[in-house]
Amino acid sequence: MGSLTVRNISEDVKKRLRLRAAANGRSMEEEIRLLLAEGAADAPVAAKPNVRPAKAAPSEAAASQVLLIIGGGIAAYKSLDLIRRLRERAIAVRVVMTRAAQEFVTPMSVGALAGERAFTDLFDPASEFDVGHIRLARDNDLIVVAPATADLMAKMANGHADDLASAVLLATDRPVLIAPAMNPRMWGNAATKRNLARLVADGVLTVGPNAGEMAESGEAGTGRMAEPLEIVAAIEALLSARDEKPLAGRRIVITAGPTHEPIDPVRYIANRSSGKQGYAIARAAAAAGADVTLVSGPVTLPDPPGVKTVRVESARDMLRAVEKALPAEVAIFAAAVADWRVAQAGEQKLKKDGGGPPKLALTENPDILATIARLKSNRPNLVVGFAAETEKVIEHAKAKLKRKGCDWIVANDVSAEGGAMGGDDNAVHLISASDVESWPPQPKDEVARQLVARIAAALGHQ
Ligand code: C5P
């Protein structure tokens, strides 16, 4: 038999073959020839059914693919066990190592455990021609950075792309999970705290670090990398959440943040809204698969990943942007819209000309929530407003529901005792025409996730 043609090879297997061939510096044909030779040598003469070839490429049978980025820390040795644990669970692992990581574990041992060579270099023609950092960034279900060193976190937070690991992290549109590991003083440093806050706001997920003895003798505190099995549990939870997209294909419009109402070209009326709750809802809705347009007043938060963010200044701009984003099935109005604007904003900067302070006549802004809730055509099926109250929270919120014509109100107590203002936790009531549900105090991200789950249920997702 001189030659053999094999038809119906799946795209995934072809991809694996191309990768193996490139990694081993062989042509595809050579690679296949060698694989066949190895398989034939291992196979019993009377082949048993369902016996998998001993040298099968790792991800042929794997349902999920994780890209593991190993940073340069002493905890890198735990990443070897992490690779093993993931492959035991039929999760394929492709590995990128930073230069510093290679001081702690070798690409050889990583490659042996992962079943394919580790990628190390942004300017390696072999990997760039075949896979390339863009495909490394995208051809996976999840990116895990373990250990995530202080330096790697700083690079991620600031968008650096000067090596393969950071370039992949900047180019990815996949969820990213980091397992920080560093000396407790580095973990407690203000710069690391700033970087972590930035990463969390960008939607990066974390597991650990844990408290305890450090590898360096005599050092203890928070900074130990989470144990491999803890990281595996976090990965499995994220991979299964990926399959649950209860809002897939649903269009949602969300407003967030304050509005700025001009007095003249340099001055404006504003409020202290940070936009955090609205942004958290946008993130949660996008994570649930929704097609989200976030219409945001001026805030310092970065655009949530996977969300179409439209930045506006004034209430009138916000209304226009919301109308443009329709039709949508759901509209959530979390913005703190200014009730008033200056009737005649100055075209030039107002001068102190000795004639006393200017008299600013105010006029009412459009009520975006009420306008959309009362649309005759194009009204979203579910219109949700927010109410921040300092007293008689439920009574006032119920009245607001009627007045504005919306379907639900998320009401919270912003009195000093409520602790919601500026705090991390929030206790809200979800109010509809027939029902009041009071949720316990919980982090604002959790409020967002729970609201999204209720919306999915209301839209008929089981
Ligand atoms: O009337 P009040 O400002 O308390 O109502 C709060 C709710 O109404 C929020 O959902 C807010 O986004 C929305 N709103 C609006 N346009 C306004 C004022 C409030 O969409 N001009």
Q: How many domains does the chain have?
A: 2
| Cα–Cα distance measured from residue 105 to residue 113, given in angstroms and rounded to the nearest whole number | 12
Average pLDDT over the chain reads 87
Q: What is the mean pLDDT of residues 71-96?
A: 96
| Cα–Cα distance measured from residue 36 to residue 13, given in angstroms and rounded to the nearest whole number | 14
> Does residue 303 share a domain with residue 208?
no
% of the chain at pLDDT higher than 70: 86
Could you tell me if residue 421 is inside a domain? yes
> Does residue 272 share a domain with residue 174?
no
Other residues' Cβ atoms within 10 Å of the Cβ of residue 10: 9
pLDDT of 172 strictly over 80? yes
The domain that contains 221 carries what CATH number?
Answer: 3.40.50.1950
User: What b/e readout covers 123-147, taking b as 16+ CB neighbours within 10 angstroms?
Assistant: eeeebbeebebebbbeebbbbbbbb
Residue nearest (by alpha carbon) to ligand 1 atom 9: 386
| Cα–Cα distance measured from residue 208 to residue 229, given in angstroms and rounded to the nearest whole number | 12
> Does residue 312 share a domain with residue 233?
no
Question: Per-residue DSSP letters for 298-346?
Answer: S-SPPPPTT-EEEE--SHHHHHHHHHHH---SEEEE--B--SEEETT--
Ligand 1 atom nearest to 334, measured from its CA:
12
Q: Are 257 and 335 in contact (CB under 8 A)?
A: yes
Domain span at residue 320 reads 251-343+360-458
% of the chain at pLDDT higher than 90: 60
> What spacing in Å lies between the alpha carbon of 366 and ligand 1's midpoint?
10
pLDDT of 67 strictly over 60? yes
| Cα–Cα distance measured from residue 24 to residue 94, given in angstroms and rounded to the nearest whole number | 15
Q: Which of 243, 278, 298 is the last residue of a domain?
A: 243
Could you tell me if residue 150 is inside a domain? yes
pLDDT of 426 strictly over 80? no
Q: Is the CB of 401 under 6 A from ligand 1?
A: no
Per-residue confidence (pLDDT) for residue 60, from 0 to 100: 40
Could you tell me if residue 99 is inside a domain? yes
Cα 406 vs. chain centroid, distance in angstroms? 29
Could you tell me if residue 28 is inside a domain? no
Q: Which of 243, 273, 306 is the last residue of a domain?
A: 243
Could you tell me if residue 174 is inside a domain? yes
> Does residue 231 share a domain with residue 267?
no
What count of residues does the chain have?
462
User: Tens of pLDDT along 329-357?
Assistant: 999 999 999 999 999 999 999 988 888 89
Least confident of 26-40, 137-151, 239-253: 26-40
What residues form DSSP beta bridges with 430?
A: 410, 437
Q: Is 297 exposed, middle or buried (0-12, 13-18, 19+ CB in 10 A)?
A: buried
> Does residue 410 share a domain with residue 284?
yes
Which has more pLDDT, 297 or 132?
297
> Does residue 226 share a domain with residue 204?
yes
Per-residue confidence (pLDDT) for residue 417, from 0 to 100: 60
Q: What is the pTM of this model?
A: 0.56
Per-residue confidence (pLDDT) for residue 449, from 0 to 100: 87
Which of 125-134, 236-245, 355-364, 366-375 is most confident?
366-375
User: Tens of pLDDT along 309-330?
Assistant: 999 999 999 999 999 999 999 9
Q: Are 439 and 429 in contact (CB under 8 A)?
A: yes
pLDDT of 225 strictly over 60? yes
Could you tell me if residue 169 is inside a domain? yes
Question: Per-residue DSSP letters for 79-96?
Answer: HHHHHHHHHHTTEEEEEE
Per-residue confidence (pLDDT) for residue 10, from 0 to 100: 72
Which has more pLDDT, 295 or 44?
295
Residue nearest (by alpha carbon) to ligand 1 atom 17: 367
Residue nearest (by alpha carbon) to ligand 1 atom 13: 369
User: What b/e readout covers 254-278, taking b as 16+ CB neighbours within 10 angstroms?
Assistant: bbbbbbbbebbeebbbeeebbbbbb
> Does residue 212 share a domain with residue 77?
yes
> Does residue 238 share a domain with residue 331?
no
Per-residue confidence (pLDDT) for residue 91, from 0 to 100: 94
Other residues' Cβ atoms within 10 Å of the Cβ of residue 115: 18
> What spacing in Å lies between the alpha carbon of 452 and ligand 1's midpoint?
20
Q: Is the CB of 365 under 6 A from ligand 1?
A: yes
> Does residue 404 share a domain with residue 295?
yes
Which one-letter amino acid corresponds to residue 373? A
Instruction: Give phi and psi for 342, each to the nearest 5.
Output: -75, 130
User: Tens of pLDDT along 390-419?
Assistant: 899 999 999 999 999 999 999 988 875 655
Q: How far is CA 191 from CA 77, 83, 216, in A?
A: 26, 30, 22
Which has more pLDDT, 416 or 252?
252
> Does residue 290 share a domain with residue 216?
no
Could you tell me if residue 32 is inside a domain? no
> What spacing in Å lies between the alpha carbon of 385 and ligand 1's midpoint?
7
Q: Name the DSSP letter for residue 119.
A: B
Cα 365 vs. chain centroid, distance in angstroms? 34
56 CB contacts (<8 Å, ≥6 apart)? none
Could you tell me if residue 140 is inside a domain? yes
Residues recognised as catalytic? 271
In terms of DSSP bridges, do strands 382-389 and 408-413 run parallel, antiparallel, or are they unpaired? parallel
Which has more pLDDT, 350 or 127?
350
Which has more pLDDT, 7 or 227?
227
> Does residue 135 share a domain with residue 213?
yes
The domain that contains 336 carries what CATH number?
Answer: 3.40.50.10300
User: Tens of pLDDT along 143-153?
Assistant: 999 999 999 99
Per-residue confidence (pLDDT) for residue 149, from 0 to 100: 98
> Does residue 206 share a domain with residue 262?
no
Q: Which of 194, 215, 243 is the last residue of a domain?
A: 243
Q: Are 15 and 9 in contact (CB under 8 A)?
A: no
Q: Is the CB of 387 under 6 A from ligand 1?
A: yes
Ligand 1 atom nearest to 255, measured from its CA:
12
